[in-house]
Structure 1
């Protein structure tokens, strides 16, 4: 493993990474969907990855 000086990192390219369980809890996502997301993405993921992989139930019918 290589040591990295945190002061030299470019913060403009940094991504916020969420704990998948915490994100699901804050967003009101069902436990079954949370388990599926953890299987697909792992324990941590970016907000964009989470949003693109959430399957929401269809609430509107035609």
Structure 2
């Protein structure tokens, strides 16, 4: 484990803002999931919020 001082921490990735529509296209989410995320967050959300709230159906063979 590594100790990171608060003044040296990079919060750039944690606060990156995505377009919900672009995120859904890049992650191949269906229209129903895109609609759900748009209702939840509006047109923009942070990467953290989108990754932890997106649901993908499993791809079975």
Q: Same fold (TM over 0.5)?
A: yes
Larger Rg: 1
So what's the TM-score if we normalise by structure 2?
0.67
Deviation (angstroms), 1:59: 4.7
Q: Does 1 or 2 have the higher relative contact order (CA < 8 Å, sep 6+)? A: 2
Kindly report the root-mean-square deviation, in angstroms, between the aligned alpha carbons of the 2 structures.
Answer: 2.3
User: Gaps (5+ residues) in structure 1?
Assistant: 1-10
* Consecutive unaligned residues in structure 2, runs of 5 or more: 1-10
